[in-house]
Chains A and B, each alone.
Chain A
Amino acid sequence: MIFEIALNGLMLGGLYTLMGAGFSLQWGISGIINLAYGGMTVLGAFVAFSLFRLVSVQPLVSCIPAAIIMFSLGWAIYKFFLRPTIRRGTFFVTLIMTFAIELVLENFMLYVWASDYRIITSPYSGISVQILHAEVPLIKLIMFAISIACVYLVHLFMSKTKPGKAIQASALNPQGARVVGIDVEKMYAINFGIGAAIGAVAGALMSNITSFSVVLTGSLVGKVFVIAVLGGLGNIWGAALGGITLGLVESYGTITIGSEYNEAIGLVVMVLVLVLRPRGLIGRKYWDV
């Protein structure tokens, strides 16, 4: 029983890791608490859903177009809305700006897809596999694998490629980065876009296992917040730690206290961590590998 709970929590934690990584990147590197992240994630899910319904693209393949669309959108939002705001106001104005963007996104989704709960029923959703006496749906395993693969890809991008290193440099020391010829603003915009794309992929994956709706955006932002705070900012291993912790806590809490307290448990854990260890469980501030 305990093993089953832990396994379920781990699977959920994989998805949360991916979801939290995008938010954590945007917060830790571009310095923006993106309240529109929930909207971006659900938009990714809707793109996958529409592709599945209209042209019957495999739900796992549709991650790619969802990521590309959301990358462009995230990049544009940073360039045309967030950058000018950061230049003239305090962090609190930027926070309100992302909330305004969230409202527009939400309204758009409500208009196009309405507020009904949707789910993608893929051809392999009925199959389950046996792992040490525990039944695990195949789709959850695939989802877990893809999540971890994506997180690893982002890690590789950030640590091995030139643009990735430039993004890290911009986060650590903007002035220094400028001196060596890095276009810091461009890097922030690209990073914000990558964050949005990661959110979209997480949303597209999520649409395979749970029903989703526009109504969920708020609670998704709550979750990624918890993850980012648990793990510390801009740190992909932190996001992994935070995501898996949240997944385990939630799946254990569902059994012992009941699923209706899920969100509250996460938030209480977050407030505790904020107060006791303001830099997160790992405690490094910037991206580091």
Chain B
Amino acid sequence: MLRQLFENKKIRIIGISAIVLFLMGIPWLITGYWVRLLTSIFMYATLSKAIDLMIGYLGYVPFGNVVFFGLGAYTTGIAMSHGIPFPLAMVMGALISIMVCIFIGVPVLRLRGHYFAVATVGLNGAIMAIALNATALTGGAMGLTFPVLPAPPEIIYRYFYYMMFALMVAAIIVSIIIVKSRFGYAVRSIKANEEAARALGINTTVTKTAIWIISAIITSIAGAIYGFWMSYISTMDVFNIMIGVTCILMTLLGGAGTIIGPILGALIFQFLSEMVWSQFLEFHLGILGVITILVIFFIPGGLVASLKESFTRAKVQHKEAGS
């Protein structure tokens, strides 16, 4: 039943537009706290989508993808403190990320599996150390302050809410386009078997770098918005490897390589985090760890796969009952 509902195209379109309209209207009805929580959920959903492009489709795990988040935030902050308007500063952040991807991505992407994961962590550590010590430019350990918007707080909250929401929608659309395109097939063929993909005439280096660049652009724009939103950033904040790991966890929870999985994972995870274990600050890390272990043991394929499986099972049972 439910599955047929999902498969019906009309109902799908109506459902999606209802959700979008609901999310567009909701910030006018709820308090600032909830608007901020939803904004942070959108941010994590966006970052998880960006990481999932690498994990779910390409099969590479960029453990230190948060480096682009930090680069985006810092570049935007530095540019804005020199009087450059936000949109332009954001683009500059994205350009820096692209450059890092090209110059460092090409050699690093030659590595496979563990080695790639580790090299990205190293990259993050190195760039973080540079940001921390280039005090004249970045403010060093003092952090970096963004110019604050001259408006009452509710309006600022809504402003960033819509910005983050738009970015998340853009990330979803981009991933749908990629999945359906020829490029997307090339990316997934690399995940299945890189040598075979190369033998078929796919330029694996260009494909891998291109998908990483897309992931990096999304991540760095999220970083730029985050910095402007918080109006203060420090290296500990935006180069924090925990952000990247949390996003990997969200992807894992929702289901890697699915359109909606990372979004679902981010939603559930952030809600749980805010509602349940923020009450136990002392055990925050430990509970995060235990939840991770439970997810790995009990829903290894992610929620989306588990749901699909139970739908299929229900369908089979339904058929058997009918015959």
Contact = CB atoms under 8 A, between A and B. Distances in A.
Interface of A: 33, 81, 84-85, 88-89, 91-93, 95-97, 99-104, 106-108, 110-111, 218, 222, 225-226, 229, 258, 260-261, 263-264, 267-268, 270-271, 274-275, 278
A205 B282 CA distance: 29
A104 B290 contact: yes
Closest 8 CB pairs of A and B: A107-B286, A103-B289, A264-B129, A100-B292, A104-B289, A267-B122, A107-B285, A275-B107
B61 interface: yes
A102 B289 CA distance: 8
A91 B113 CA distance: 8
Contacts of A107: 282-286, 289
Contacts of B113: 91
B126 A264 contact: yes
Nearest to B241: A218
A117 B282 CA distance: 18
A100 B115 contact: no
B102 interface: no
Contacts of A89: 296, 300
B108 A92 contact: no
Contact of A110 (B123, B126, B130, B285): B285
Contacts of B143: none
7 contacts: A99-B245, A100-B289, A104-B286, A264-B129, A270-B119, A274-B108, A278-B111
Interface of B: 55, 61, 63, 104, 107-108, 110-111, 113-115, 117-119, 121-123, 125-126, 129-130, 132-133, 241, 245, 248-249, 252, 282-286, 288-290, 292-293, 296-297, 300
B61 to A, nearest CB: 5
A159 B323 CA distance: 66
A96 B119 contact: no
A264 B111 contact: no
Contacts of B283: 107, 111
B133 A260 contact: yes
B203 to A, nearest CB: 20
Contacts of A261: 129, 133
B235 to A, nearest CB: 12
B125 A267 contact: yes
A261 B125 CA distance: 10
B252 A93 contact: yes
Nearest to A104: B289
B258 to A, nearest CB: 16
A100 B126 contact: no
B223 to A, nearest CB: 20
Nearest to A111: B282
Nearest to A225: B118
A92 B55 contact: yes
A260 B288 contact: no
A225 B118 CA distance: 8
Given A100-B289, A103-B285, A275-B111, A222 B121 contact: yes
Contacts of B289: 99-104, 107
A85 B296 contact: yes
B129 A81 contact: no
A33 B114 CA distance: 8
Given A260-B133, A261-B133, A264-B125, A100 B293 contact: yes
B123 to A, nearest CB: 6
Given A33-B114, A271-B108, A99 B129 contact: no
A222 B292 contact: no
B122 A222 contact: yes
A280 to B, nearest CB: 11
Contacts of A81: 293
A111 B285 CA distance: 11
B129 A274 contact: no
Contacts of A102: 289
B53 to A, nearest CB: 15
A108 B300 contact: no
B111 A260 contact: no
Contacts of B108: 271, 274-275
A92 B300 CA distance: 12
Contacts of A275: 107-108, 110-111, 119
Contacts of A258: 133
A84 B282 contact: no
A103 B122 contact: no
A263 B129 contact: yes
B121 A93 contact: no
